[in-house]
Each structure stands twice: as structure tokens, then as C-alpha cells.
Amino acid sequence: MKKIINKKEDLVDEMISGYVKSHCDRVKISKLSNRIIVRNEKKDNSKVALLIGNGSGHEPIAIGWIGKGLLDANVVGDIFSAPSGDLIFEGIKEFKKNRSVILLISHHAGDLMNGEMAIELAQEEKLDAIPLIMYDDIASAPKGNESERRGAAGTTFIYKILGAASENGIQKEELISLGKTVRDATRTLSVGIEGGISPINGKPIFTLEKDEIFIGMGVHGESGYGRQKLTSSSKIVEFMADRILEDYEINSGDIVIPFVNGSGKTTLMELLIIFNDLENYLSNKGIKVFKPLVNEYITTQDTAGFSISLLKSNEEMRKLWCYPVSAPYFHL
């Protein structure tokens, strides 16, 4: 394993320390736990706070997305492991003076179990906390079973749009409704090309033959549609976009926000070629593209691969998508 680290057991804590020191103008470590990162400029107590707990190893999400107009806090778990329910509860308590707290939960077994436990603990303490479960990965469950799908890169749209809406004073019930609307209008499909190396055991997260790719693979190597032969960007993009449009109706004249996300080792050159092919595909169908996001934001160490997420947007979503953000690693 070739990774520049110190001790494996100190990986996460040293990463957090380095992150906060390098962005101390915008983020800080909570007094409640060194695994909770919060905004320096605290949101007004009359507004709804947004936080998420997630396993580390996928940076810059979610530590890099803390800031005005986005997330208020991130509860950081161990590598590829959701933080405990008790720790997420501590994150909720950070905002006990706020009117309400929304806990964003990406639909994975550990995140869901521990997030729901934290909500129960908060409600026992009479804290106004509510979960919003996020899912978008079309390869993880069939059409008609959307609520069983994994959370993937398309959850980004919820972070950004709800972050902007809460910053503008929109309250809990409307935020939850908006979040569900965004979730239901989002679809994601990924492709794995080469497995990254786990910093825990030094082994590949998944393995493929040199001429293979895996369509629909989850962020930890979970199963999807299956293996295919490596081919051109345009053909891979066409296959993926066809599957998305088969799953969710997007028609000529509709306006989508695309997100092309790299998995950690995919070059910007490749991602821009992929986006170019995606834009051509959508344009040929009369589908309009608005303010795309193209870069490596949700990674799995040095995994090679990418995902395509499409949000079928309305005017409100587009306005909130463009709302100014001050978070260290989120740039439109």
C-alpha cells in the first residue's frame, strides 16, 4: 500500500485536524466531539440546521461541504463506516438552540440504522430533529422500488438546494417537502473502472480485468448491473444515460442539472470528455442543461470511475442551486 500516512489508527483524526487548520476561517471542531465539524459562522437560531453523518474515506464530501449555504455540520465516522448513533446525537445537540434540525441520511444500512437511533435519542430529549432519507442509485433497486435504492452522488442536489433554502429561512416542513421533491426527481448511475486501495487493509476495494468496467457499482464495490468490456466514452455515456431515461421520464424541453462525479482517480480530462458526451446526448434529445457540476467530489480513495447524476429541475430548484456558497471544497 502506497499511501502517505502516519499510523492507520490516527488517519481520520489527523485528516480532520489538517482540514480544520487549513480552513480555520470557515470551519472548526465542535466542543462536543473532535469528530464533529461545524461552521465558524453559526446559522441564526431561527433557521433550520442541516447536518449529516457519514463514513470517512470519501473526501471532499462531506467535511468539505460545511459552510454558509450548504451544510451546518458533519459527523465523521471511521473509514467507510457510519458514525455511531450516540455520536450523531451529539451532532444534533450542537444545534439544540436552533428552531429545528434536519439530519440527512444517505440510504446505506449503517447510516440508516445509526441515524434513526440518533433521531430517537434527540426526540427523547425533546429536541426538534427530523430525518430525510436520500436515495438515487438506479442500479441498486428496480423501478418502482425507489425507496430501497442506495444514496449516491445525486444526493448532492439535496445538500445544495436545501442548504440554500434553509439559509433563506425556509422552515422544516417546507424543507422536507422540497428535499423529497428533489430526491424523487434525481437519478444516478455509476461505473467502476479500477478499484482503489483501502487504507484499512491495503487491499483493492474491488478487482476487474484490464479490459472490464462495472456498470452500477456502489461506492464500496456493491453490485450493480454487471461487467462490460471497456469501450469509448461516448458509448459508455450513451448506455448510462439510456438507463437513466428509461428509469425516469425526461423529455425534450425539460431542463436538467447534470453532475459528473469522479471516484478519486479519474482525471479531469476524462471527466470533461464524459460531460461533453453527456451534453451532446442530452442536446440531441432536446433536453436542456443548466449549471452542471463536473469534478471529483464524492470519492472512494483512489478508485477509478465516475457517476452521472441528473436532476430534472424546476425554476425554484435552479434558483437555489445557484445560491452563493462558502464551503471549502464545493465550487459551481
C-alpha cell at 2: 502506497
pLDDT digits (tens, 9 = 90+) for 77-135: 999 999 999 999 999 999 999 989 999 999 999 999 999 999 999 999 999 999 999 99
pLDDT tens digits, one per residue of 255-280: 999 999 999 999 999 999 999 999 99
- Domain 8-184 belongs to what topology? Rossmann fold (3.40.50)
Predicted TM-score of the model (pTM): 0.97
Cell numbers describing residue 189: 448511475
Q: What are phi and psi of 98, to 5 degrees?
A: -75, 155
At 30-72, the pLDDT tens digits run 999 999 999 999 899 999 999 999 999 999 999 999 999 999 9
Q: Provide the annotated active-site residues.
A: 58, 220
Query: What's the average model confidence in pLDDT over 213-235?
Result: 90
pLDDT for 99 = 86
Which whole-number Å values give the CA distances from 326 to 9, 66, 112, 247, 268, in the listed order?
A: 31, 8, 28, 34, 23
pLDDT of residue 1: 83
Contact 183, 134 (CB under 8 A): yes
The helix, strand and coil proportions of the chain, stated in percent and rounded to the nearest 5, come to 35, 25, 40
Over its C-alpha atoms, the chain yields an Rg (Å, rounded) of 19
Mean pLDDT of the chain: 96
List the one residue out of 200, 238, 235 whose CA is nearest residue 220: 200
Vertex 23, ends 89 and 98: CA angle to 5°?
35
* Domain ranges, ordered by start, for the chain: 8-184, 186-319
Share of the chain above pLDDT 70, in %: 100
- Domain spanning 186-319 has what CATH number? 3.30.1180.20
